[in-house]
Each structure stands twice: as structure tokens, then as C-alpha cells.
């Protein structure tokens, strides 16, 4: 088990959480591949805050760009409290953090040389985190954006990414496509995420090229060949590619990223290709993915309820291959 019954360390104060200094783009990479940061291959995410209250403009931008990025969408203190809550829970695993630094900085011990990955346990009963992802700011946003009563998936994807490789390029629909396709992901960073720490990247206008990856978009990672149980529904565990550089060249759009700050929100379609940058720092990168849709639309049963079945055995579907 990741968590131990060790005592919870002393709480860091909100004031300990400071703005990180910006770093340079010179050494960014994803999945071990250095990214081309020339203007034809790389760009900054555009802040949609100026049109935050203009629902029709937001819908149009989502149709055209496949994502919306908001600086300072949430009050910074709200995110800081959730960050502290996550760090305190993770610190129950003794030997993870370098305690010569304040826990709030999330500095890992030198022996941690690889991403830690999903830590969904850190979301269970975590009221500070649930206040962010199911709270009034996000509820009001998706209600206006979708034009009706919204529901969210109950499952919260918590990512705790230490030094090492980022997430491979993928579209979310292959993990959650058994309900409506009018489903949106909210990616929220819990900390200031400079380029050396990594962060999510979006492949520009990739949702407009869905025809070329139709087979991929119609796949489901939890299917398997019932006549050959060793063969899964999709190779690479749902990734579209293992190489973000060659994928960008094939698609032609730029990778779009930002140095994120606590309070930022990035929301995107489930057919938008995205990945994450590698973490070259000694700090933990914390983020959540949560999903929202109209309550009247069908929902993927794997991700709702008190104990969502997720990608477990109950969620698997057999096909004749």
C-alpha cells in the first residue's frame, strides 16, 4: 500500500506556498523526447479569462480550439488548501519528501527518481479537494457552458508526478467513452508549475483531425478479446503515441503549454490530443483531472457512484477479435 499509518507531519502554512520563479523553455521534453520550441512547433496557451462570462464566445472557442485555458479561475487560497491537504496525505508515506524543506514545497528525497503516478486515495474524503473540483466555481462554469444541469464523474484522478517521464499523448475518450461524447475534462494544477516541473500540453486543433484517428477514438481501453484474453483493446494502455515530437509533425499543429499557477484551469474535449511535459525538477507535480457533462446525457458507468469500478475487472468488456 502506498499509505502507511505514520503520523501526519506538521501542517505547512499557506504563506509558505510562494510563487515559483519562471524557468526557461530551453530544456523541455515529453516522454523523454526534447520538444522543438520554435514557433512552428510550440506555443503558449491563450488565456480565455477575458471572455469568461461570454458563453457563446467560449463555446465557439472550444469548437475551434478544442480547449479553454483560464488564468486565476479559482481563488488561489482555495487551491493552496487543497495542495496542503494532498501533500499531508502523501507525506503519510514516510521517506517520500525531503523534510529539510517545508512540506508545502513538495521537494522529494533524492532517491525518488520516477513519477509516482495516480494516487486516487488522496482524494477520498478530502473535503478541501472536493471543494475545488465539485465546488460552485466549476459548477457554475459548466452549467453555463453546457446550458443545463450538469453532473460530474464521482471519480477524481489525482496525479502525483515526481521526476521523470510525462504522460504519453492520448485522448480521454478511450478511457471514458461509454456515455456521452459531450464530456469535458478539467485539469487543475495544485502548485505553481514551471516548465522544469512539467504540466499539461495540448496538441493544437487536434480535435479537428478526429477522422484520421477514428479507429483510436472509437476504442475502449477496457475491452479485450474474449477469444484471446491476452490481447487488449488498445496497445500502449490507451496512448495514441509514445513520441510527442513525431506526433506533432504528423498532425501539424503546435504543442501548446504554459507555466501554470495555482488557480488556473484548463478544460478540453475528450477528443483533444494532450500529453504532459517531463518533470526535470526535484519537486512533486500535483494535479487532478475531473469530468463534467449534462445530467440528461448518458454517463459512463465506470466512473460514477460511491465506489466507481473504474478500470477494474468489473469494467472490462469482451469482444470477438
Binding site for Fe ion (CB under 5 A): 172
Residue number, 172 or 278, with CB nearest to Fe ion: 172
CB-nearest residue to Fe ion = 172
Residue 214 CB, nearest approach to Fe ion (Å) = 19
Q: Which is closer to Fe ion, CB of 12 or CB of 308?
A: 308
Rounded CA separation 1/143 (Å): 38
Distance separating alpha carbons of residues 94 and 186, to the nearest angstrom: 30
For residue 5, the minimal CB distance to Fe ion (Å) is: 32
* 67 vs 316, beta carbon nearer Fe ion: 67
Cell reading at 41: 512547433
Question: Which CB sits closer to Fe ion, 104 or 185?
Answer: 185
Instruction: Report the nearest approach of Fe ion to the CB of residue 309 (Å).
Output: 19
Q: How far is the CB of 203 from Fe ion (least distance, A)?
A: 12
Question: Of the two residues 272 and 281, which places its CB atom closer to Fe ion in the complex?
Answer: 272
Quote the least distance from Cβ 282 to Fe ion, whole Å.
Answer: 25
- 144 vs 311 by CB, closer to Fe ion: 311
Residue 20's DSSP bridge partners are none
Least Å distance, CB 119 to Fe ion, is 16
β-sheet bridge partners, residue 223: 317
Amino acid at each position: 500500500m502506498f499509505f502507511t499509518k505514520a503520523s501526519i507531519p506538521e501542517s505547512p502554512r499557506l504563506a509558505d506556498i510562494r510563487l515559483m520563479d519562471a524557468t526557461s523553455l530551453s530544456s523541455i521534453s515529453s516522454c523523454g523526447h526534447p520538444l522543438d520550441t520554435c514557433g512552428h512547433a510550440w506555443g503558449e496557451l491563450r488565456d480565455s479569462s477575458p471572455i469568461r462570462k461570454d458563453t457563446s464566445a467560449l463555446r465557439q472557442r472550444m469548437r475551434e480550439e478544442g480547449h479553454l485555458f483560464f488564468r486565476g479561475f479559482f481563488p488561489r487560497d482555495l487551491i493552496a488548501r487543497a495542495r496542503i491537504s494532498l501533500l499531508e496525505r502523501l507525506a503519510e508515506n514516510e521517506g517520500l519528501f525531503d523534510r529539510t524543506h517545508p512540506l508545502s514545497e513538495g521537494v522529494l528525497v533524492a532517491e525518488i527518481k520516477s513519477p509516482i503516478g495516480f494516487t486516487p486515495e488522496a482524494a477520498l474524503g478530502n473535503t478541501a479537494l472536493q471543494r475545488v473540483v465539485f465546488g460552485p466555481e466549476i459548477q457554475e462554469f459548466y452549467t453555463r457552458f453546457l446550458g443545463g444541469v450538469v453532473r460530474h464523474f464521482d471519480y477524481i484522478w489525482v496525479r502525483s508526478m515526481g521526476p521523470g517521464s510525462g504522460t504519453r499523448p492520448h485522448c480521454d475518450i478511450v478511457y471514458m467513452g461509454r456515455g456521452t461524447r459531450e464530456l469535458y475534462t478539467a485539469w487543475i494544477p495544485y502548485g505553481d508549475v514551471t516548465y522544469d516541473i512539467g504540466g499539461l500540453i495540448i496538441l493544437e486543433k487536434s480535435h479537428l483531425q478526429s477522422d484520421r484517428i477514428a479507429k483510436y477514438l472509437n476504442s475502449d481501453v477496457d475491452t479485450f478479446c474474449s477469444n484471446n484474453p491476452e490481447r487488449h483493446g488498445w496497445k500502449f494502455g490507451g496512448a495514441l503515441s509514445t513520441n510527442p515530437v513525431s506526433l506533432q509533425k504528423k498532425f501539424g499543429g503546435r504543442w501548446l503549454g504554459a507555466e501554470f499557477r495555482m488557480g488556473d484551469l484548463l478544460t478540453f474535449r475528450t477528443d483533444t490530443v494532450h500529453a504532459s511535459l517531463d518533470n526535470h525538477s526535484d519537486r512533486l507535480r500535483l494535479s487532478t483531472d475531473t469530468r463534467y457533462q449534462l445530467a440528461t446525457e448518458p454517463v459512463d458507468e465506470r466512473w460514477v457512484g460511491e465506489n466507481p469500478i473504474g478500470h477494474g475487472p468489473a469494467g472490462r468488456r469482451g469482444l470477438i477479435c
